[in-house]
Amino acid sequence: MSVRKLKPITPGQRFRVVNNFDEITTNKPEKSLTVGISKSGGRNNTGKMTMRYTGGGHKQKYRIIDFKRNKFDVEATVKTVEYDPNRTAFIALLEYADGEKRYIIAPSGIKVDQKVISSETAEPNVGNAMKLKNIPLGTVISCIELKPGQGGIMARSAGSSAQLTSRDKKYVIIKLPSGESRMVLGECIAMIGAVSNHDHMLTVSGKAGRSRWLGRRPRTRAVVMNPVDHPMGGGEGKSSGGHPRSRNGMPAKGYKTRKKNKASNRHIISKRK
């Protein structure tokens, strides 16, 4: 995967850096695995705006992703690698030996016509899904479950991955992208390999309009609001606004928000940096 800097023939393209999409093989999604998605504009069921700076955006269809990888011991062939507007990573279309088709998060380096499988006895090859207790130590993994059968919820965004470092009885210890080391049950499933589109972080939109296409409206700075609207608002002229905090008063920039008595704290070996 590579990125490309455009020539500055317009103001919007002067700083724009785009993805080359070298890995993408088709621009038409599998119709049976797509559903319509409606936009709320940040409003709840009574019409009240509960999420600010949301609205507009291009029309999209949701691709149904198989995060559970629970079709065991049936080999599948990679048919396409596709762009998904709902996530930063690419997705891959699998066709199983019995004819069923499913989308998965595409791992980095996956190719069309490659064979993948979800099995306890599978080889630790890129794209295969295995239980953590059967994966060799030091393997790079992604789309990791926290509870057996839940579906992968960790290390799913573009370019992210975790590493399986050691085992402790029924648990395995993995090092997450944040730097945190934690214990996860060995019965949980993970995908071998890092997530695709690792150059996503290098792209530059180039203009405000591209944010509007993604459904993001302009964001108002807190210090220019009135005191009734934000704790950092008010004051004469360009006053600093006091301590950085959220709209409901929660301190920002270093304040720990994780509960000290959270049940899953006992699974954390070392905290993130």
User: Does residue 238 have a pLDDT over 90?
Assistant: no
CA atoms lying within 13 Å on the CB side of residue 89: 24
> Of 132-136, 223-227, 238-242, 253-257, where does mean pLDDT reach its minimum?
238-242
Whole-angstrom Cα distance, residue 44 to residue 92? 33
Q: What is the pLDDT of residue 273?
A: 76
For domain 20-201, the CATH class is: mainly beta
Q: Where are the domains of the chain?
A: 20-201
Please report where in the chains the tokens 């490309």 appear, as a residue. 4
pTM of the model: 0.91
DSSP letters of 61-84?
EEE-B--S---TT--EEEEEEE--
| Residue 272 banded pLDDT, cuts 50, 70, 90 | confident
Q: What is the pLDDT of residue 137?
A: 96
Q: What is the pLDDT of residue 194?
A: 97
What would the pLDDT profile of 148-186 be if each residue is shown by its tens digit? 999 999 999 999 999 999 999 999 999 999 999 999 999
